[in-house]
Chain A
Amino acid sequence: MVADRVSDEPGTATSSPAAPTPSEQDVLVVTDVERRFGDLKAVDGVSLSIRPGETFGLLGPNGAGKTTTITMIAGLLAPDRGTIEVAGERMHPSAVAVKRHIGLVPQDLALYPDLKGRENLRYFARLQGLRGADLKHRVDEVLEVVGLADRAKDPVKEYSGGMKRRLNIAVGLLHRPSLLILDEPTVGVDPQSRNAILESVEALAGEGMAVLYTTHYMEEAERLCDRIAIIDTGRIQAAGTRSELIRLLGSSDQVRLSGTGDLRAASSAVAQVRGVERADVTDSEVLVTAADAPAALAAIVTAASTHLELADVEITRPDLEQVFLHLTGKALRD
């Protein structure tokens, strides 16, 4: 399957590939949702669906509409248009009971810094309706999951940034939600904590939890997400698996060969190699385009070496960053 690119034509957003065919098993079905703030259309016809055990990435730069979208999905904000269903029930700010299906991990550290880690968890667990032994058991359990059991008695203000992030996630897991929403959960954390968070998310998805993961870190989306939607200016620009999205580019791998010798002769020789689509000479290197560069690399190097003393060989494969650039005309972190 090739990822679909959403048309810019008005009214076609409902055919968004992010929600190709909502099924009864889908934990989340978002249909043609729109939200305005004054004249600004923050979310414009977003549709998507997520299955149990699936990690769905919402990839976009700051201000793309990610947080507004998940705020509506979490029932904190009403859409101006469109519908949101969670576990088969219609979500709306007044639909209090539906919120039990969702575990929200907001981008901000929504914790009481003056309370201990365990006290924060107990508070939010009580809001979720947990009581007595079940509450204590779940608090202990999520502390283990996020690796904070030994620091549970410390005030949150004494935690490192990464520990706060992990506790922030733990709050969202307390009531075993069907859908876990993680809004940029790794912002500002050290690499070690970041890896721990990503491992936790992978484990949760492995247990069957549906995860909606927003980020502007391409590598996180590539590592975690089964499907990714690229969102910009409130619209889903494209959606699909990583490889499906990359195929949207319609471009191949590139190999840069640099060295001393006869660049033109090298280029001609390389162009004869099977799998090579073209070979061009630039100022100081030969730029080779190939459908599968790693597979053809040995033959390319052999052909080029007859005319060049190679100093450097570099393979460039298209990634989501390039997909984003291709779709939106700007870099992901702009």
Chain B
Amino acid sequence: MRAVGAIAGVELRRFLRDRSNIFFTFIFPLLLVVVIGAQFGGGASNGRVLLTEAQSSFGEDLRATLTAADVTVDASTADAAAETLARGRADVAIVLTAEDAAAYEAGEPVRVEVIQASTNGAQTAAQRVQTALSELATTRAQLAALTGAGAAPDVASQALAAAEEEVPPLQVDVVDVNEISQAFAGVTGFDVGAASQVLLFVFMAALAGSGTLIDARRNGVIARTLAAPVGTGSVVAGQALGRWTIAVFQGAYVMAGTSLLFGVTWGNLPVALLVLAVFAAVAAGFAMVIGSLLDNEGAATGLGVGLSLVLAALGGCMFPQELFPDALRTVSSFTPHGWGYRAFAEVQRHDAGVAEILPHLGVLAAFAVGALLLGSLLLRRSLGRAI
């Protein structure tokens, strides 16, 4: 067992010692999280609203009401808002004019222009805007009634606040029937991007590292290891553990980095780490298969990177699985990435426990067992070429 640990330890050490890994292991994954986060939005997905005249008291009241409903509100101008909506980077624009703001201040009737984009969440966001405007209108009517009955404005506001505390207003939950909007409810683009990059880079780090296995076989280190009092099983187990350790290290780094830098939430962390551990075992198995089948380091690295990218794309790590057509979503079920993506989605978005993701873990475990068994068998055979 100590020999297994020694072999695994030296594999991790070599991985960390390789300067070419610094960019691809530590920098590139976080850059991609930024790109995907920016593409799919970094705010809450209850809606992205643009607001003109945001500094007016009307604008500030509206922003406060919407923000309380977990809607992301950004100040804009009318022209910029139209362009942003057209690009699909916001769901709704509330175009307030100076006259609207003045009328609101004076307690006069206001007609607000709301422009809805064609994004998936636009309808829900527009509904939330309507609800917010209704809340503001109701509050204004209540205040007008109290002041009309002779109450001073300050007293009227305090009385209204006290009344709201005693009789909480009705809570309106807007449920979007759009599956995509539902799927992304409560998560940011960074959350989605981070999970995808964990899967992509865990696999890529392990597979690209399969070249070191070939190197060790070709330069005689494996033969020398077998000349020590170390059994073939220990060598195979050590190589598997080494590749698994590298994969887990890479995944844990992306998880920690995105959590600290982008505030990504991983839901139930122990369960998320369990998903990572099982997925890393799949990656370790694939790495052993490649490292045992091929005798050329460059070819192994190329194949490893290529295979990682293809599986990641099919599994939804480059474009969210929820946006896949049905046929492609079916294909994703034949990739470990597809199951890893779904497992992370359940844990991140719905705080799922082990029981809820048992089917996902089961499929990933089956992938892992199959890949590790095949990898071990091929590695045992390849040891003959090492001697």
Contacts and interface: CB of A to CB of B under 8 A. Distances in A.
Interface stretch (A107-115, A228-236, A276-284, A293-301): A107-115
A290 to B, nearest CB: 49
A6 interface: no
A104 B224 contact: yes
B220 A108 contact: yes
A129 interface: yes
A96 B231 contact: yes
Contacts of A98: 229
A272 interface: no
Given A115-B13, A123-B6, A129 B223 contact: no
Given A114-B17, A114-B18, A127 B221 contact: no
B220 A76 contact: no
A76 B223 contact: yes
A106 B220 contact: yes
A60 interface: no
A126 interface: yes
A128 interface: yes
A124 interface: yes
B227 A75 contact: yes
Interface string A68-98: 0001001111000000000000000110111
A127 B220 contact: no
A98 B228 CA distance: 9
Nearest to B235: A127
Contacts of B31: none
Contact of B10 (A71, A115, A129): A115
A308 to B, nearest CB: 58
A265 to B, nearest CB: 63
A18 interface: no
Contact of A129 (B7, B13, B216, B229): B229
A106 B223 contact: yes
Contacts of A225: none
Nearest to A108: B220
B229 A97 contact: yes
A127 B6 contact: yes
Contact of B13 (A106, A110, A119, A124): A119
Interface string B215-247: 010011101111111110000000000000000
B231 A110 contact: no
A102 interface: yes
Nearest to A129: B229
B14 interface: yes
Nearest to A174: B228
A99 interface: yes
Interface bracket on B: 20 to 34
B111 interface: no
A276 to B, nearest CB: 54
A104 B223 CA distance: 10
Contacts of A111: 219, 221
Which of A97, A111, A126 is the most central at the interface, judged by chain B CB atoms within 10 Å of its CB? A126
Please classify the interface of chain A as helix (H, G, I), strand (E, B), loop, or mixed, using the class held by over half of its residues: loop
A110 B17 contact: no
A127 B230 contact: yes
Interface residues of A, number: 32
Contacts of A100: 229
Contacts of B216: 112
A81 B113 CA distance: 94
Interface string B181-218: 00000000000000000000000000000000000100
B3 interface: yes
Interface string B1-37: 0110011001001100110000000000000000000
Given A76-B387, A110-B219, A126 B224 contact: no
Given A114-B17, A115-B14, A127-B6, A74 B227 contact: yes
Contacts of B228: 99, 124, 127-128
A131 B2 CA distance: 10
A299 B21 CA distance: 76
Contacts of A110: 219-221, 223-224
B224 A171 contact: yes
A124 to B, nearest CB: 7
A65 to B, nearest CB: 15
A76 B229 contact: no
Contact of A126 (B2, B17, B221): B2
Contacts of B17: 114-115
Given A76-B223, A77-B387, A129-B2, A99 B229 contact: yes
A128 B14 contact: no
A127 B219 contact: no
Contacts of B230: 96, 99, 127
Contacts of B231: 94, 96
Contacts of B7: 127
Contacts of B220: 106, 108-110
B2 A123 contact: no
A127 B230 CA distance: 7
Interface of B: 2-3, 6-7, 10, 13-14, 17-18, 216, 219-221, 223-231, 387
5 contacts: A111-B219, A112-B10, A115-B17, A123-B10, A126-B6
- Shortest 7 CB-CB distances between A and B: which pairs? A110-B220, A108-B220, A110-B224, A126-B6, A127-B228, A104-B227, A99-B229
Given A71-B387, A94-B231, A97-B229, 5 more contacts: A76-B223, A102-B227, A112-B221, A124-B225, A171-B224
